[in-house]
Amino acid sequence: MWLYVAAALLGLFLLRRWHRERQTVPRLSEKHVLITGCDSGFGNLLARQLDARGLRVLAACLTEAGAAQLRAATSNRLQTVLLDVTSSKSIADVTAWVRERVGDRGLWGLVNNAGIAIPTAPNEWLTKEDFVKVLDVNLVGLVEVTLSLLPLVRRARGRVVNVASVMGHVSFFGGGYCISKYGVEAFSDSLRRELRPFGVQVSIIEPGGFQTGMIDPAPLVDGFVRLWQRLPAEAQAAYGRRYLDKYAESTTLLHRLSSSRLSLVTDAMTHALLSRCPRSRYAAGWDACLIFLPLSYCPAWLSDTILGLFLPIPASAVP
């Protein structure tokens, strides 16, 4: 008896959530959304999707070539601006540019999408500068962009959408990428609680593996070789050349298994921006939902054992 009651209540809860999440905010044509990292990948596709729905998209690109390509593929509503998220001056200039365009309405949506992954390698192969290069874009830049634009988002009682990763739950490889995504998770969590009283919603997007070009096998493998060559002789002997070759093969295999359906991620971003009841987190991709997120809740010995199956064995490994 109680089992049927529990099942019925659960069904009603899911039905109510489904109904609420399907409702979108009104007056889309009046809403401005700033997206970073629009040269390619998720940001580029999201800008085109939102433009097609009639929103006023402010697309921040790193290069003029990327901006020109995006303008050619969208309507006159979409406006582009050059932004380097590692430059405080560039962020300040873009903030002033956005303020001129949104006026008293404020900024409805901020999508922090810009990011890099290279250099990625075993941690011992990297220097402090290698870590800083990634953290400056993926975490510090994201924080500074958010803080600069928060007054405009608060005025609109709008949305902040931060792109993290399932690697913000499980660090599958070394380097600054996974560290930065853990940081994005923490920053977004605290920001969500702080801004809720102002009516601002903060959502985190957690993609799995997608073929965006950000982690292209060719430059990654070339990077592994360069990092290997600069290692001291003792470290090279400890890992062995076979470790380098197998590490590169595993990276190439993971890229092949990644999804090419970027819309899985951009649809989640769109829902976070336009739904009356956005979610706090969106997992995107079969590997995110079925592998990495479940692994993040497993005991360390189990997740280490499973993920260790994909890593090569160093030449001087303890027997």
Q: Which residues are part of the catalytic machinery?
A: 177
Strands (E), the chain: 32-35, 56-61, 79-82, 109-112, 159-163, 201-207, 281-284
Look up tokens 């190439």; give the residue: 252
**What's the alpha-carbon Rg for the chain, to the nearest Å?**
21
| Helix, strand, coil content of the chain in percent (nearest 5) | 60, 10, 30
* 3-state class (DSSP) for residue 209: coil
Tokens of 41: 């990948």
Alpha-carbon gap, residue 169 to 206, rounded angstroms: 9
Q: How many CA atoms lie within 13 A of 176 on its CB side?
A: 20
* 3-state class (DSSP) for residue 275: strand
Beta bridge partners of 281: 204
| Residue 85 · residue 143 · CB < 8 Å | no
Number of CB atoms found within 10 A of residue 279's CB = 16
- Please state, in angstroms and as integers, the Cα–Cα distance from residue 267 to each residue in 97, 205, 261, following that order: 27, 10, 10
- Cis peptide upstream of residue 299 (ω within 30 degrees of 0): no
